[in-house]
A and B are shown apart, each in its own frame.
Chain A
Amino acid sequence: MKVIDIIKDANANLLRNKLRTFLTILAIFIGSFAIVSTSAIQAGVNSFIDDQVNSYGGEGYLAIVNKDSMDALEGLTNAMGGGNSGPIEYDPDKKQDGMTPINEEQIEKLKKIDGIDGDSIVKQKSLDITYVTSKETDKKYLMGAEALPPGNIKVATINGHSLDLKADEYQLLLEHTYVKALGYDDQNIVDKKIKIVVKDQFTNEEKTFEARVVDVIAPGVVSMSMSYFNNKLADDIYEENTKYYPPEYKDMTAAVAANYDYNKYSAEEIKDKLEDIGLSAMTIDDIVGSIKSFFDVILTVFKIFGFIALIAAAIGIINTLFMAVQERTREIGLDKALGMSSGKVFASFTIEAISLGFWGSVFGIVVSIIIGNIVNVAFHAEGAFLESFPTFNLVIYTIQDVITVTLLIMFIAFLAGTLPARRAAHKNPIDSLRYE
């Protein structure tokens, strides 16, 4: 008997008792729907979080400040409420009102630490921008901005454009709240020039930088309300800010960004090494890790529910096929009398089980994709809770996930089918033909 005939017959047999087949498929559908939906949400959340991570410079990124500065930051957080250690005591010897600069000696030591990529060390120059404005508005706005962090830079943007770091023109990625204020919308602001004005703190002379908006930064959970400049714009503004500084102050910095070899060292090992030279660092995990693990826990729970549903569905398949074997006893007897081998009888019932699994998983996936996309659109509608995160796709269906789930369910269905199929295969044709 040809395989194609076995498959055709198996599917035809499923249609004989439509209600029973439907109910069995429904059970598989629930499991498939749960697992595919959780995978899609997980993919959505992960992709969103990865965007956030990349906008920081990717995995291996370290934001390094002086240890004193970190204490000051913690003190500030504690003073604002929360924290376990309580307010920090006043210390007349400590500078409390800001960040302690990182000195050149520390940077030299940092370069020599094993696991730190010396070339990746970038001093975070804080840019002092007086205000920004555009042709479309009379209003002037304050702005926080910095050069893009080093490393694997992929800032999530609304229209998908990115900065040309080495361009000879002034470019920026604009923080999303500025778009409306400057009289544009997320799309038509692209390639428009805005005015960035820097006023010297000593002389009050004003210099205007006309910079092209390459794109708008998508709002994210770790947004620091920063706009990002390309190197030329950042360098020229810094130069303008510091043109009257004594030369030794020009290079002073409170924060350094660097990359470490995350394949070789754990974040804790690197942090300990930095501690030794009086520096304190934050990794990507410190910034976004807790959000990720929170989602992972919830989604794992949902996935487990999905698997439990699948186990119940597998029992449903076993039950359905045992009934089918019973009902078709005489048919099986006839098939065997007419020369069908036990192997083919076994195959025909397992293929029936696999078909049940296949259709259940396909319906689960299709319905999940439809509902997922409707919900995604609904959640991004005006007033809905994802409105302010336009790049956050709640569900992402990858071909890989879809195929994996389908194959997995077909395999579970096959395992479930082997029990009734064995019974059918072992039937004696004479007894089966006598069966009433």
Chain B
Amino acid sequence: MSKKPLISTRNLRKSYGRRSAAFEALKGINLDIYEGESVAIIGKSGSGKSTLMHLLALLDKPTEGTIKLEGKNTSQFRQHKLNDIRNKKFGFVFQSFFMNSNDTVLNNVILPLKIAGVGFRERRRRALEALRVVDLADKAKNKANDLSGGQKQRVCIARAIVNDPKVIFADEPTGNLDSGTGERIIKLLFGLNERKGITLIIVTHDQDLANMCDRQIHIADGEVVEEGIKQELYDENFDGDNDNDGMREKNTIKRIDVEED
């Protein structure tokens, strides 16, 4: 982890409303996310975890603080550039899927490429390839509405990877699924993380899911209350004697034992 971070935030604040009625959703977040990592942003509802994800995904602008993407300050970017980054470098998976249910599976997967202005044949080829990855190539012509929940989320994953992104943002990806189907989705996401090196940022309140990530960032009341890494990674990076080795001062790092939770 000696590389430069892919995304890094400093003193990130976000507040809604004005003056006395202002509500501070994020109160100064400092984060570094490295390429190829899988990171869980975990917290209760209202903790500010979704707001944080929206800022990281450049869907929203912070009230204060900076977000650097590949070392560049994103607040300098024009809207057009931000749109382009979301379109080409990011992939999104949402809890409630967000599909055009009357359209075909294929057209749903094609959407980011269509927005990017990719030609008809090329985008079709790439969408079919993405569907093959999630094992749904045979459903390409089906209406999105006719699929089961798990299949829908797989289509969304296909849509998220069709543009060959650097980062996938997954907002409660298993929230609407039963545990069996959820597991398959998780496997798929971590498989992509491992095989393709896609950075995975998962927002969840599910500790089991969070435990599978390389790193966990616990958010409460708009602040990072705890940061932890997986057992294996902990063993690799820290020798146990030196508690603060390679760590930022403000955050405490706790060993997380997967079996314990």
Binding site for B on A (CB under 8 A): 1-2, 5, 16, 330-331, 333-342, 344, 429-430, 433
Contacts and interface: CB of A to CB of B under 8 A. Distances in A.
B207 to A, nearest CB: 25
Contacts of B117: 1-2, 5
A336 B79 CA distance: 11
A430 B98 contact: no
B111 A338 contact: yes
A277 B102 CA distance: 85
Interface in B100-136: 100, 102, 111-112, 114-117
Contact of B86 (A330, A331, A337, A342): A337
Given A5-B117, A336-B83, A338-B86, 19 more contacts: A1-B114, A1-B115, A1-B116, A1-B117, A2-B114, A333-B98, A334-B98, A334-B111, A335-B111, A337-B92, A339-B84, A339-B85, A339-B87, A339-B116, A341-B83, A342-B79, A429-B59, A430-B60, A433-B98
Contacts of A335: 111, 115
Closest 9 pairs between A and B when the two form their complex, measured CB to CB: A339-B87, A339-B83, A339-B86, A334-B98, A340-B115, A338-B112, A1-B115, A2-B117, A341-B83
B176 to A, nearest CB: 14
A338 B94 contact: no
A288 to B, nearest CB: 59
A429 B82 CA distance: 13
Contacts of B98: 330, 333-334, 433
Given A16-B102, A330-B98, A331-B100, A338 B115 contact: yes
B102 A340 contact: no
A338 B156 CA distance: 12
B114 A5 contact: yes
A341 B116 contact: no
A49 to B, nearest CB: 54
Contacts, number: 50
B106 to A, nearest CB: 14
Contacts of B27: none
Interface of B: 54, 57, 59-60, 79-80, 83-88, 92, 94, 98, 100, 102, 111-112, 114-117
B60 A339 contact: no
Contacts of B88: 339
Contacts of B114: 1-2, 5
B59 A338 contact: no
B177 to A, nearest CB: 19
A39 to B, nearest CB: 40
B111 A337 contact: no
A163 to B, nearest CB: 63
A157 B84 CA distance: 68
A352 to B, nearest CB: 15
Nearest to B118: A2
Which of A337, A341, A344, A430 has the most chain B CB within a 10 Å cutoff? A337
Contacts of A2: 114, 117
Nearest to A4: B120
A291 to B, nearest CB: 58
A430 B115 contact: no
A433 B83 contact: no
9 contacts: A1-B117, A16-B102, A333-B98, A334-B111, A336-B83, A337-B59, A338-B92, A338-B112, A339-B115
B48 to A, nearest CB: 14
B59 A341 contact: no
A289 B172 CA distance: 79
Contacts of A344: 115
Contacts of B84: 339
A241 to B, nearest CB: 83
A340 B83 CA distance: 6
B103 to A, nearest CB: 9
A282 to B, nearest CB: 68
Nearest to A8: B114
Given A16-B102, A339-B87, A341-B83, A433 B94 contact: yes
B165 to A, nearest CB: 11
A429 B114 CA distance: 18
Which of B54, B79, B83, B87 has the most chain A CB within a 10 Å cutoff? B83
A352 B98 CA distance: 22
A180 to B, nearest CB: 67
Contacts of A330: 98
Contacts of A430: 54, 59-60
Contacts of B54: 430
A339 B112 contact: yes
Which of A5, A334, A339, A341 has the most chain B CB within a 10 Å cutoff? A339
Given A2-B117, A429-B59, A341 B79 contact: yes
Contacts of A433: 94, 98
Nearest to A5: B114
Nearest to B171: A433
B49 to A, nearest CB: 14
A340 B80 CA distance: 9
A265 B111 CA distance: 68
Nearest to A6: B114
Contacts of A336: 83
Contacts of A339: 83-88, 112, 115-116
